[in-house]
Structure 1
Amino acid sequence: MPALTEPAQRATVASSALAGRRRVFDLPESRWAAAALAFFLTGLAVQLAGAPAWSWWTLYLASYLTGGWEPALAGLQALRDKTLDVDLLMVAAAIGAAAIGQITDGALLIVIFATSGALEAVATARTEDAVRGLLDLAPDTATRISDDGSEETVRAADLEIGDVVLVRPGERVGADATVITGASEIDQATITGEPLPVDKSAGDEVFAGTLNGTGALRIRVDRRAEDSVVARIVALVHEASQTKARTQLFIEKIEQRYSIGMVAVTIAVFVIPLLFGDTLQASLLRAMTFMIVASPCAVVLATMPPLLAAIANAGRHGVLVKSAVVMEQLGTTTRIAFDKTGTLTRGVPELAEIHVLAPGMTDDDVLVLAAAVEHPSEHPLGAAIVRAAKTCGLRWPAATDFIAKPGLGVSATVNGTRVTVASPTALPDTLAGADAEVVGLVQQRGCTAVIVTAADRPVGVLGLTDQLRPDAPGAVTAAARLTGCTPVLLTGDNDTAATILADRVGITDVRAGLLPHHKVDAVAELQADGTRLAMVGDGINDAPALAAAHTGVAMGGAGSDLTLQTADAVIIGDDLNAVATVIALSRRARRVVVANLAIAATFIAALVIWDLTATLPLPLGVAGHEGSTVIVGLNGLRLLRSAAWRSAADGT
C-alpha cells in the first residue's frame, strides 16, 4: 500500500474533536422532548374529557416550558448575534397562539420542534461515539524488542518508525508495519474487507488493529499511531460527515429570509392600521391572526409526516432510516455502489470444488481425509471443510499428532498415514505439472486453493470461496432498473475474485483492491459529474466511503458498530432487495411532500391575502390554518400503510 501522504495531525484532530462530546444517554434534549410530549398528550386527553380549562392550560404551559425553553434560548442567542432563525419564530408563533386562546396549536408546534432537535442531537452523538470506538481496535500496548533482544511493554501510541515489535498469537497488531520474521495468518477484514485471513510472512505488510492468528510475528513499525490506516479511517469519516453537513447552508438562508419577512410583515400589520386610526385591540387581533395563519406549522407538517411515515414503514420491513433528511435524500439516488464481502456475499468461506488427483480415490475420500486433519484446527478454511463434510453426512477417523504451521497449513496422522492440508505455496516441490495446472484453474475461478496430501503424495485440491447472498443478483437487477444505471462494485478483494463475483450478479463496473481511502476516492470520482451515489457496505473499511457518499447504506446483520453509526440507513434484516425498495419508497414520500407543500402554500397564501386585504375572522383563520394542517397530515400518513411498501417493492 502506498504511504499515506496526508498530514499526521488530521487523525489527531478528528479524534480530539470528539473527545468532549456527550454520550447519547447524557443528552438532555431527549429528556426535555419526552417531557414536552408527555405534557401535551396529557393535556389533550384532559381537554377532550371536558375538564376545566385551567387544568389543560396548565399542562399545555408545562409543555411550552419543557419543550420550548431551549429553542427559545437558542433563538435569543442567535438574535443577539443579529441572526433570526425559525426556532425563535416558531416559539413566537406558539406564544401568539396562546395569547389568542389557541394554546393547543402552540403546544403541538413546540412538541414538533423539540422532538426534531432531540433526534438530531441523538443521531450526532451516537455517530461521534462510534467514531471514537474505532480507535479501540488498535491495542493500547505493544511488546517492543530492544536491540539487546529484551522485551518491554510500551504504549502503542509511543511506538516510533523502525521499532521492532513482537505480535503473539491472538493479539492485535499495534502499528502499520512490515513482517521481519515469522509466519501467521492475519484477519484484516477491518481494513481491506477481505473475507478470509491472509497469510503473512517476512516482507509482508500488516496494519494496526488487525488480528493475528496462530503464529508469532516480529514486525518493524512503518508508521506512527496517528498516521496508521485505522486512524486515517477516523479522520475520513469525520471529514466526510462535516462536508455533508455544509449542504444545509442553502436551507438556512431560506429560513433566515422567511423569518425576517414574517416578523417584518407582522409588525407592519400591527402598526400600519394604528397609524390610520384603527384601535389597538383591532390591530393586535389582526396581527395575531396573521401570526397564526402565516406560521410555518402547516409547512412543517407538510414535510415531516410523509417522511416520518415512510421511515416507520421502512422500519417495519427491516430498514432503519436515521432521519427525515436521509429519507428525502434516498429518493434522489441516481446510482448504487455495492461492497463485495459481507454485502453481496456472506463473508463466510464455503467449500466450492473438489478435484481428485490420486487414482482410485473419490471426492468423499479426499474430503474425509481433509476433515479429519482440519477438525482440531481453528482456521476459518478448516472450519469450512469440516462443515462441508458434515453436510455430506461423512464420518472421519480421529487424527493424531496434529501440527499447525501458521500461514502454511496443518498436518496429522490419519489411519497410520501422514496427511497434510496446506496452501500451494507451502508445497512448491510436491506438485507435478498437471497438479499445478489444477491449482491454477481453481485460483482463476476466484477460489482459495488448498492441497490435500497423503504420505507426501497429492491426492486432491479443494477450492473454497465466499458465499454469495441468494438475493444478490435480484437486488443488483432491481438497483439497475430503479436508477437506470448499472451498479458499481467497490471492494478490497483481489481483481479475479471481484470480477467473477460481479459476473454472477450482473455488475460490469468493477473496482477491486481498494483500501478505505481508495474507496473514498472512487466515490468522489463517481459523484464528480453530479451523480447521487448510494453506497452499500458492511465493514469498518466501508465507513469512510459510506460517509463520503450522497447516502450511505449499511448491512446490519454483520455490520461493524462504526459502519452502522456512520451509515444514513441500515438494512437490519440483511435483505439486499430492501435497498432498491427503500429508495423507491423515498421517491413516493418526496412526491407526497411536494403535493403537501403545494396544499399548505395555497392555504397560507389565501389566508394571508385575506387577512391583509380584508378582515379575516379569527375563528375562520384558525379553522383554515388547522384545516390545511389536518389535510397535509393525513395525506402524509398514507405512507404508513404496508401497501405503500409493497407498491414500492413492485415498482422496483
Structure 2
Amino acid sequence: MTTQQYRLQNLSCANCAAKFEKNIQQLQTVEEVKLNFGAAKLTVTGEATIEELEQAGAFDNIKVVPAKTRVIEQAVPFYKRRENILAFIALVFVIIGYSATVWGEQYAPYLFAVAIVVGGIDIFKVGFQNLVKFQFDMKTLMTIAIIGAAIIGEWEEAAIVVFLFAISEALEAYSMNKARQSIRQLMDIAPATALKKSIHSDHTHELEVPTEDLQIGDIIIIKPGSKIAMDGRVVSGRSTVNEASITGEPIPALKEVGADVFAGTLNEEGALEVEVTKHVDDTTIAKIIHLVEEAQEEKAPSQKFVDRFAKVYTPLIMLVALAVAMIPPMFTGDWQHWIYQGLAVLVVGCPCALVISTPVAIVTAIGNAAKHGVLIKGGVYLEALGHVKAIAFDKTGTLTKGTPAVTNLYTHHETRLLEVVSAVETKSQHPLARAILDYAFTQKVTVPSVTDFESVTGKGAKGFVNGNVVYAGSLAWVSTLVDIQPEVFEQAKVYEEQGKSLVAVSEGNVFLGLLAIADEVRDESKAILQQLHALGIEETVMLTGDGQRTANAIASTLGVTNVQASLLPDEKLAAIQQLQQKHGGVAMIGDGVNDAPALAASTVGIAMGGAGTDTALETADLALMSDDLTKLPYAVKLSRKTLRIIQQNIVFALSLKLLALLLVIPGWLTLWIAIFADIGATLLVVFNSLRLMRLDK
C-alpha cells in the first residue's frame, strides 16, 4: 500500500471535512485516510485517483492537488464565484418578491420559491443525499427547515434564510482561508528552482533546475537580492543574509565561506556559491512546514472536549426540535406555529460554531508563532504553555551566551599583560585560552612567539616569551613563584564572589596582573525574566552544572527566584519532577541535547536555537528558531491569549444559541433569528480567533 499526500482547495467547513474523510474511507481501494482540516491536507494510504478523491468531495466542490505540486491558487473575485452569483440572484428575487406583496400579492410565493431554488440548490443537493443516508449536518438541517417552512406557507422567511446561509458560507470560507494564510506563506518561502553550477570542458554554465532534482554536493549560485533555494554551506563569496523567514530575527546575518545557509532566506548584497547539504524534503523550512501542519492537526484538550460535547449536543438538539414541534400543539392545537418553532430550533441548534471554535484558534496561533520564529509542535503544547506556573532554565547557552569571555583586567601593564599571556595561551588546550586569545584579538594586540611551552596539570602553563619566563595559571600557583601584593588577593576575592574564573600572569619576577573570565549573561536575560514574572509565572528556576558560587552570582544578577547548582543530568530531571509536584505545569528551556531528560519530563520542553538543529526540531515540544530568548515571553503571551480566545469562543457559541433557544418558550423564535444566531456565532468565533494573527512580540 502506497501513501500519498494532497493539498485541498475550497475546504472551509469542519463538518464538510468530516464527511469528505468518511466518503474517501468508503472507497474500496483505500486502506486509511487522514484529513488535516487546519492545514487543508489529505493523507491517503491505498490506491485512489485524484478524480475519485474529487468525486468524494464533489458535494462541496473540493479540489485535490498532489502535495509536492506547486500550485498558485488563482484568486477568484468575490463577484465571480458561482455560489455568490447564485446568492445575488436569490437576493434579487427576494427583493422582487417583497415588492410583489404591494403590486401582486398572489405572485410573491412564486418569486420567493425561485429565490429558494436558485440560492439553495447546492444546499438541497447535499441535504437530500444526507437525508437518504441519515447523516445530519448543517445542510441537512437547513434543507429540512427550508422545505418545512415552505410547506407551512412561510415562503418569505425560507427565501431570506437561504440567502443569509449562502452569505455565511462565503464569509466562513474567507475567514478559514485567512487562518491558513500563514501555512501558505511558509510554503511559498523557498523558490521552486535553483541556479545549478555545471562545469563542462573547463566552461562553467548556470542551469536553472527544479529543487527536487538537486543532489547533496551540488553547487548552486545565489545572486544578490535572490532567495536561497536549498539548505547548504557557503563555499565561495561573502554576503549578508536575511533569515527572518526561518528564525524571525530581522537583523541580517553575515555569511562567509563555511557558514550554513537555509532555504527560503534572502541573500542581500553579495554573490554566494553554496554546496547543497540536504535534499529538498529535509531542508529546515520543509521540516518546519511539516511540523506546523502536524501541530495544527493534533487536537488540543479543549478541542477534544468540544468534539465529545458536539456528538451529544447534535442529537439532543434534534430531539428538542421534535419535542417543540410535537408536544405544545397537542395542547394548543396550533400545529403550524409550533412546527415552525421546531424548524427554527433545528437551524439554531447546528453545532458549526462550537465545532470550529477551537481549531480555528489553534491553526491561527501556531501559524503566527511559526512566522515569528517559534515552532510549537501542537495545540496540546500551546495550551499547556498557557497553564504553566514555573519555568526552569538551563544556564549555559540559555541565560548566558555559552562561551567564556574576558570580563575584567586587574593590571598596571595592560598591553604587556595581554601580549605575554596570549603568547603562552596560543599553545594551551585549556578552555579559557580561547577567551583570552579572542579578547587579545579585539584589542589588536601583537602576539609574540613562545618557546619551551609547558602545561602544568591543575595549575596552568609556562613558556619563554622574549627570553623571559612567563607563568599563566591559578593565583595560588603563581603566588608561590613571585611576590604578589595583598590588594591583588582582595580583588581576586571580589571576582570569585561574582562567579568569575581567574588567570594570574607573571613575567620573570614581576607579577603583571589578573584576568577575570566568565560565561557572559545574555544582555536580554534579566528583562525577559521580569516580563515572565509580569505575565504571571510564579517561579523561575536556574538549573546548572556549575558550582554554587558561580550560579548564585549569575542568579542574583538576573533575578531568578530559585537556583540549583552542581547538577548532573539525572539531578536536573529530579528537580523538574519536584517543580511539577509543587506547581503542576512546568516548562523547561535548554539546548535540546544535554538537557534531554529534563526537557522530556517537563510539561513543555523548549529548545533554544532550532534553526538547522535537527535534535531541537525533533525532540522539543517548542523550539525558538533564532536562539533568541526574547521569543519566550511572546510564546507565553500567545498561549495565554489563545486559551482566553478558545474559552471566549465556546462561551459565545453556546450563549448565542442558548439565548435564541430560550425564545422558544414565549414562541418568539423565528427562522430569521435562528439563522442569524447560527451565522453570528460562527463568524464571531472565527473573527475572534483571527485576532491572534495580530499578536506581535
Q: TM-score range by the shorter chain?
A: 0.5 to 0.7
Shift of 1:294: 2.7
- In 2, the alpha carbon distance for the partners of 1:388 and 1:520 equals 36
Shift of 1:491: 1.7
Shift of 1:596: 3.2
Q: Does 1:352 align with 2:392?
A: no
SS of residue matched to 2:40:
helix
Task: Tell me the amino acid that sits aligned with residue 415 of structure 1.
Answer: N
Q: Which residue of 2 aligns with 1:167?
A: none
Q: Which residue of 1 aligns with 2:444?
A: 393
Comparing 449-458 with 462-471, which one deviates more in the overlay? 449-458
- In 1, the alpha carbon distance for the partners of 2:83 and 2:533 equals 60
Q: Does 1:517 align with 2:570?
A: yes
Task: Tell me the amino acid that sits aligned with residue 414 of structure 1.
Answer: V
Residue of structure 1 aligned with 2:423, choices 372, 396, 400: 372
Q: Does 1:449 align with 2:502?
A: yes
Task: Tell me the amino acid that sits aligned with residue 364 of structure 1.
Answer: T
Q: What is the correspondence of 1:107-118 to structure 2 with a 5 Å cutoff?
A: none
Shift of 1:607: 3.8
Aligned length in residues: 468
- In 2, the alpha carbon distance for the partners of 1:327 and 1:502 equals 28
Q: Does 1:627 align with 2:680?
A: yes
- In 1, the alpha carbon distance for the partners of 2:378 and 2:696 equals 18
Q: Does 1:587 align with 2:640?
A: yes
Q: Which residue of 1 aligns with 2:315?
A: 263
Shift of 1:345: 0.4
Q: Does 1:96 align with 2:143?
A: no
Q: Which residue of 2 aligns with 1:601?
A: 654
| CA RMSD between the two structures | 5.6
Q: What is the correspondence of 1:559-598 to structure 2 with a 5 Å cutoff?
A: 561-598=614-651
- In 1, the alpha carbon distance for the partners of 2:569 and 2:549 equals 19
Q: Which residue of 2 aligns with 1:3?
A: none
In structure 2, the CA distance between the partners of 1:30 and 1:403, relative to structure 1 (3 Å rule), is: farther
Q: Which residue of 2 aligns with 1:49?
A: 80
Q: Which residue of 1 aligns with 2:387?
A: 332
In structure 2, the CA distance between the partners of 1:106 and 1:446, relative to structure 1 (3 Å rule), is: same
Q: What is the correspondence of 1:146-545 to structure 2 with a 5 Å cutoff?
A: 248=301, 252=304, 255-266=307-318, 269=321, 293-306=348-361, 308-355=363-410, 362-375=413-426, 380-400=431-451, 412-419=463-470, 421-422=472-473, 430=481, 442-452=495-505, 454=507, 460-483=513-536, 485-545=538-598
Q: In the alignment, is the contact (CA less than 8 A) between 1:351 and 1:465 conserved in 2?
A: yes
Q: In the alignment, is the contact (CA less than 8 A) between 2:303 and 2:359 conserved in 1?
A: no
Q: Which residue of 1 aligns with 2:30?
A: none
Shift of 1:502: 0.6
- In 1, the alpha carbon distance for the partners of 2:447 and 2:561 equals 43
Kindly indicate which of the two structures has a greater share of residues assigned to helix.
1
In structure 2, the CA distance between the partners of 1:98 and 1:468, relative to structure 1 (3 Å rule), is: same
- Report the TM-score when normalising by structure 2: 0.53
Task: Tell me the amino acid that sits aligned with residue 416 of structure 1.
Answer: G
Larger Rg: 1 or 2?
A: 2
Q: Which residue of 1 aligns with 2:609?
A: 556
Q: Which runs of 5+ in 1 are unaligned?
A: 1-20, 65-71, 73-87, 120-244, 647-652
Q: In the alignment, is the contact (CA less than 8 A) between 2:546 and 2:565 conserved in 1?
A: yes
SS of residue matched to 1:446:
coil
Q: In the alignment, is the contact (CA less than 8 A) between 1:351 and 1:384 conserved in 2?
A: yes
- In 1, the alpha carbon distance for the partners of 2:138 and 2:668 equals 22
Residue of structure 1 aligned with 2:63, choices 39, 47, 69: 39
Q: In the alignment, is the contact (CA less than 8 A) between 1:93 and 1:106 conserved in 2?
A: no
Q: In the alignment, is the contact (CA less than 8 A) between 1:331 and 1:590 conserved in 2?
A: yes
Q: Deviations over 1:237-265 (max 9, x none)?
A: xxxxxxxx9994x9756643541342244
Task: Tell me the amino acid that sits aligned with residue 329 of structure 1.
Answer: A
In structure 2, the CA distance between the partners of 1:53 and 1:315, relative to structure 1 (3 Å rule), is: closer
Task: Tell me the amino acid that sits aligned with residue 466 of structure 2.
Answer: N
Shift of 1:560: 5.6
- In 2, the alpha carbon distance for the partners of 1:368 and 1:474 equals 37
In structure 2, the CA distance between the partners of 1:50 and 1:345, relative to structure 1 (3 Å rule), is: closer
Comparing 442-451 with 507-516, which one deviates more in the overlay? 442-451
The share of aligned pairs that are identical, in percent, is 28
Q: Which residue of 2 aligns with 1:129?
A: none
Q: What is the correspondence of 1:607-622 to structure 2 with a 5 Å cutoff?
A: 607-609=660-662, 621-622=674-675
Q: Which residue of 1 aligns with 2:25?
A: none
- In 1, the alpha carbon distance for the partners of 2:299 and 2:458 equals 47
- In 1, the alpha carbon distance for the partners of 2:613 and 2:495 equals 31
SS of residue matched to 2:82:
coil
Shift of 1:610: 5.3
Q: Which residue of 2 aligns with 1:171?
A: none
In structure 2, the CA distance between the partners of 1:495 and 1:563, relative to structure 1 (3 Å rule), is: farther
Shift of 1:623: 3.5
Q: Deviations over 1:471-495 (max 9, x none)?
A: 1222222333332735222222221
SS of residue matched to 1:517:
helix
Q: In the alignment, is the contact (CA less than 8 A) between 1:97 and 1:105 conserved in 2?
A: no
Q: In the alignment, is the contact (CA less than 8 A) between 1:93 and 1:292 conserved in 2?
A: no
Q: Deviations over 1:368-423 (max 9, x none)?
A: 11212333556542221111112222212234566678987665543234545456
Shift of 1:466: 0.1
Higher relative contact order (CA 8 A, sep 6+): 1
In structure 2, the CA distance between the partners of 1:299 and 1:43, relative to structure 1 (3 Å rule), is: farther
In structure 2, the CA distance between the partners of 1:39 and 1:372, relative to structure 1 (3 Å rule), is: same
Task: Tell me the amino acid that sits aligned with residue 51 of structure 1.
Answer: R
Q: Deviations over 1:161-208 (max 9, x none)?
A: xxxxxxxxxxxxxxxxxxxxxxxxxxxxxxxxxxxxxxxxxxxxxxxx
Comparing 514-523 with 283-292, which one deviates more in the overlay? 283-292
Q: Deviations over 1:604-647 (max 9, x none)?
A: 22344557985966565334311222223223323433xx547x
In structure 2, the CA distance between the partners of 1:251 and 1:364, relative to structure 1 (3 Å rule), is: same
Q: In the alignment, is the contact (CA less than 8 A) between 1:371 and 1:386 conserved in 2?
A: yes
- In 2, the alpha carbon distance for the partners of 1:247 and 1:626 equals 25
Task: Tell me the amino acid that sits aligned with residue 366 of structure 1.
Answer: L
SS of residue matched to 2:311:
helix
- In 2, the alpha carbon distance for the partners of 1:300 and 1:28 equals 18
SS of residue matched to 2:502:
strand
Task: Tell me the amino acid that sits aligned with residue 587 of structure 2.
Answer: A
Q: Does 1:637 align with 2:681?
A: no
Q: In the alignment, is the contact (CA less than 8 A) between 1:342 and 1:539 conserved in 2?
A: no
Task: Tell me the amino acid that sits aligned with residue 467 of structure 2.
Answer: G
